[in-house]
A = this chain, B = another copy of it.
């Protein structure tokens, strides 16, 4: 995988990079919409691509359980199955086992868990996680890791980190074994819970594995914002700067700006699409809840100047009508807007880094975003 640093900020660690992937070249910072079951929820893949997105995420846990690896392999991989001709990053499934499975047991061999769909038992080993993602023909695949929640003891955190490291090494071995059949890129994941010595140790271990990219896992899992910021900045200090840095499962505009400032290159989150389905839409002055009574006769678009399909065609009053009448059109139109907002935000961030004014951009954006109208 070809990785080039295009530009570094002088006043922060924010940077611009280029990653050459099997389905096209990506410039970072990049935000990845999440396509859980094979579709980004409530929006056509063509509309996602038309906005400019070239890299989306798929969830191995969900796709492994439904429709299953055989169907996706028979389809020729996840790109063909989901009709997404650009890049796909898949996670390992470990995080969903952590967050969704009604039962899980960590063994040296792998993660033993029950499906949240039908209660069936499964064993996800590091080797299987790689094989599944190989079957998907993922452009970027993630090592199996053990995510942990805030509040555990250091001893427990050490145990989870060490198994994550052993699994990462086994993933690498399996990936090297499979790699001649396809050209996906394995990323390792830094864990270590909320212990700085462990975060540092984990970063160094993953650096030393010398995989194509490095991810930060186990953040934004329930800790307070100052703790998130502290551990993110601390962890980023120890990442090999010649590898792409991917922060998993983040997030809000506030967290995204924080992450890019610390030198994160890539991130994904369901936040933008999930809140859209509940009627919450981004504006530069903060979130708006479209169901609110005060939008009943508001014939302005969600945000003046936004170029998305929704803002070009519809008013807040119409959006409110769609959400009040439970029309699928509500989630559809709000999803379009929120993904366009995120895309435009990241484009603005890229420009600010190019012009070496990221910190000013961040300050101005947040001042308006957190100080403005709020629902």
Contact check, A321 vs B66: say whether CB atoms are below 8 A apart. yes
Report yes or no: B317 in contact with A328, Cβ–Cβ below 8 A. no
- Whether A322 is near chain B, meaning CB under 8 Å from some CB there, is yes
Does A278 sit at the interface, judged by CB under 8 A?
no
| Contact A74-B328, Cβ < 8 Å, known A67-B317, A313-B46, A314-B83 | no
CA distance A318 to B322 in the complex (A): 27
B328 touches A67 (CB 8 A): no
- Chain A 17-60 interface 0/1 with B at a Cβ cutoff of 8 Å (1 = within): 00000000000000000001111011011100000000000000
The verdict on A367 contacting chain B, using a C-beta distance below 8 Å, is: no
Q: Jot down 19 A-B pairs with beta carbons below 8 A, ordered by A.
A: A38-B318, A38-B322, A41-B329, A42-B329, A44-B332, A62-B325, A66-B324, A67-B324, A71-B296, A71-B317, A74-B299, A75-B299, A81-B318, A81-B321, A82-B318, A83-B318, A328-B331, A328-B332, A332-B332
Interface residue? A297 (CB, 8 A): yes
Chain B residues in 8 Å Cβ range of A62 = 325
Taking CB as reference atom, which chain B residue is nearest A67?
Answer: B321
Which residues of B have CB within 8 Å of A313? 45-46, 83
Give the distance to chain B from A277, nearest Cβ to Cβ, in Å. 8
Which residues in B have their C-beta under 8 angstroms from that of A329?
Answer: 39, 41-42, 44
Instruction: Tell whether A315 is near chain B: CB-to-CB under 8 Å.
Output: yes
Which A275-325 residues have a C-beta within 8 angstroms of B? 277, 296-297, 299, 309, 313-315, 317-318, 320-322, 324-325
Nearest-neighbour CB distance to chain B for A26, whole angstroms, equals 22
Count, chain A residues at interface, CB 8 A? 39
Chain B: minimal CB distance from A66 (Å): 6
- A327 interfacial contact with B, CB 8 Å: yes
Give Cα A75 to B298, complex, Å. 9
Contacting residues, chain B, for A315 (C-beta < 8 A): 75, 81
Chain B residue with the shortest CB-CB distance to A331: B328
Inter-chain contact A71/B328, CB cutoff 8 Å: no
Beyond known contacts A37-B321, A81-B315: 11 more, CB 8 A cutoff: A37-B327, A38-B322, A39-B329, A44-B329, A66-B324, A67-B296, A67-B321, A70-B297, A74-B299, A83-B314, A83-B318
The answer to whether A74 and B297 touch across the interface, beta carbons within 8 angstroms, is yes
CB-defined contacts of A320 to chain B, threshold 8 Å: 67
Output the nearest chain B residue to A299 by Cβ-Cβ distance: B75
**Which residues on B sit within 8 Å (CB–CB) of A328?**
41-42, 277, 328, 331-332
Provide the bound-state CA to CA distance between A297 and B74, in Å. Answer: 8
Residues on the B chain within 8 Å of A325, using CB: 36-38, 62, 66
Neighbouring B residues of A314 by C-beta, 8 Å: 83
A70→B46 CA distance, assembly (Å): 37
For A324, the chain B residues whose CB sits under 8 A away are 66-67
* Max chain B C-beta neighbours (<10 A), residue from A39, A41, A46, A327: A39
A81/B327 in contact, CB under 8 A: no
